[in-house]
Structure 1
Amino acid sequence: MILNHVLLKLKDRRPEHIEQAQTVLLGLRGKINVLLDVQAEANVRPGPSAYDLILITKFASLEDMDEYLIHPAHQEVARWMGTVLETQASVCCSI
């Protein structure tokens, strides 16, 4: 099982923009068959060095994750996120 954690910091960090990004990310649920689970959680302890959201995605294998990354639904969300994102960091782990 593969878990990918992506920390996201938005350009505009107002709560309504964070909520909009969270909604967009959660919109992937049910659209990509290799995506076993998706969570998008807002940071409850914001600050200058904190990230705004964590995206956690779950896959059966790295190959499934690679398939997800090129899926049109993911590509559409990634393009939109690119317009609102300041920076990101990720950790991918096997469980």
Structure 2
Amino acid sequence: MLKFLLLVTLGGIAYYLYLKNKKDKGLEPSSGITDAQVKTLLRISGNKLTAETLAKKTRTEVAEAEEKLKAEYMEGKLEIDEEDGVVFYYKK
């Protein structure tokens, strides 16, 4: 029984250190959407992207994806089109 408790305790400590090390190295999901992610998803999706798709693929909130796509539009990198109430972003 003592060996079992020791093993469980050591396992818990090892797991804690693993999580701490993982966070210290920046391996947690990143915040923010990069230009490369937008460019890649546009290429993969046939040059047609919605904020919902971007949010789902980058594991971010839809509001953050909309903000990123609107910023790209304001910079002149993307064009906007609306079909059936859904806003699509296209590469210029």
TM-score range, shorter chain: under 0.3
The structure whose residues are more often strand, as a share, is 1
Larger Rg: 2
Q: Report 1 or 2 for greater relative contact order, CA contacts < 8 Å, sequence distance ≥ 6.
A: 1
The structure whose residues are more often helix, as a share, is 2
